[in-house]
Amino acid sequence: MAAASGSGETTKPSRKKKFSQLGIDEWLIKQCDSLGIKSPTFVQENCIPPILKGRDCIGCAKTGSGKTAAFALPILQKLSEDPYGIYCLVLTPTRELAFQIADQFRVLGKPLGVRDAVITGGMGMIDQGLELSKKPHIVIATPGRIADHLRSCDTFSLKKIKFLVIDEADRLLQDNYGEDLNEILAAVSPKRQTLLFSATITDTLQQLRTVAMQEPFYYEAPAEVATVETLTQHYVLMPPYVKDGYLVHIIQKLQEEHEGYSVIVFTNTCKYVTHVCVCLCCDLVHFSVFCGQGILEDPDRYEEEQRRAKKKRRKMVKAKIKARRSKSAVNAKKK
């Protein structure tokens, strides 16, 4: 692993450091410990110290490497020193990610009594406006919806925010959020800290360096470990008309060989999500399936996903936007 600052220096993390060595306060360390988080990951070890020192930061690391905690922990620590709202704005490209990030802030910030607001499409503008007027500490939003609020109401202000976080930063530019981002950047404090995080390094992410107010600290995980080490990947090429049958067969084999495993199936469209759900719910297999796609109302999707997590449902099917139509992926993960 390597981390590089804006000046180009390179360091090699030992991964023997503790959170206390990174400058994290005792109350946050205890909260992490209660959640089973015993030691920092590479991205946390490298990014937390410069963030605590007030530097802008760009972090690029694989999914599942702890990027959210890498910015949430120092933000919560700084919030505890000077609590006010709105303290931090987190921008993310999807509603699902917004709720996931909010969950982490709530859990890690529980001793602090942190207040958050999730501002995404598919939910009522009036209710969201009321939430924003109450000045939550942390606002997690999709760019389009928070930009709509900035244009349509004056019940809140982003002029005093301490942190602007752009999660999955390269995807925000790829999804043509340029106009909305400009609106947001014009509304936030020029004295903010800017934190950019992504799972992949792209030319568009390099362009976002200009969003930072100072020369940022830069961390990038090497490409050879871009995926989770424990993930086994297989490609299966076949005619389209037999794909559904093979999918059902693969899931059945996984269940027989690994009792208690959950399976997530990603598809490219909402229509095909429904098709796969029908295949997995047929009389021959009797799988318990949650069908999650964009045509469901956001509160319904969020409540169902929370209920599914509690009951440990065995299957979940979701639409992955902009996936290649010629591919489908099945990822088995033990809970």
Q: How high is the pLDDT of residue 9?
A: 39
Q: Which of 325, 317, 322 is nearest to 296 (CA)?
A: 317
pLDDT value at position 28? 96
Which pLDDT does position 208 carry in this prediction?
61
Average pLDDT over residues 74-82: 96
**Above 70 in pLDDT, residue 245?**
yes
Domain ranges of the chain: 2-225, 240-334
- Rounded to an integer, the average pLDDT of 302-328 is 48
Averaged over 221-231, what is the pLDDT? 61
* Residue 323: pLDDT over 70: no
Q: Is the pLDDT of residue 169 over 50?
A: yes
- Position 332 confidence tier, pLDDT thresholds 50, 70, 90: very low
Say if pTM beats, i.e. exceeds, 0.85: no
Over residues 299-313, the mean pLDDT reads 54
Q: What is the pLDDT of residue 306?
A: 55
pLDDT band at 163 (very low <50, low <70, confident <90, very high): very high
Q: What percent of the chain has pLDDT over 90?
A: 41
Stretch among 7-21, 87-101, 147-161, 169-183 having the lowest mean pLDDT:
7-21
Average pLDDT over residues 267-281: 80
User: For 243-261, what is the mean pLDDT?
Assistant: 84
pLDDT exceeds cutoff 70 at 144:
yes
Residue bearing the bigger pLDDT, 321 or 204 = 204
**Model confidence pLDDT, tens digit, residues 96-131:** 899 999 999 999 999 999 999 999 988 899 999 999
Look at the domain 2-225 and name its fold. Rossmann fold (3.40.50)
**Which of residues 135 and 207 earns the better pLDDT score?**
135
Q: What is the mean pLDDT of residues 36-58?
A: 93
Q: What is the mean pLDDT of the chain?
A: 80
Please tell me the CATH superfamily of domain 240-334, with its number.
Answer: P-loop containing nucleotide triphosphate hydrolases (3.40.50.300)
Answer whether 70's CB lies under 8 Å from 44's CB: yes
Average pLDDT, stretch 58-74?
90
**CATH topology match: 2-225 vs 240-334:** yes
What is the token pair recorded at 162? Answer: 């301490």
Would you place residue 49 in the very low, low, confident or very high pLDDT band (cuts 50, 70, 90)? Answer: very high
pLDDT-derived band of residue 150, with 50, 70 and 90 as boundaries?
very high
Kindly tell me if the per-residue pLDDT of 51 is higher than 90. Answer: yes
Asked whether the beta carbons of 319 and 273 are under 8 A apart, the reply is yes
Q: For position 91, what pLDDT does the model report?
A: 96
Residue 330 has pLDDT above 50, yes or no: no
Q: Does pLDDT of 48 surpass 90?
A: yes
- In Å, what is the CA distance from 135 to each residue of 114, 163, 291? 11, 15, 35
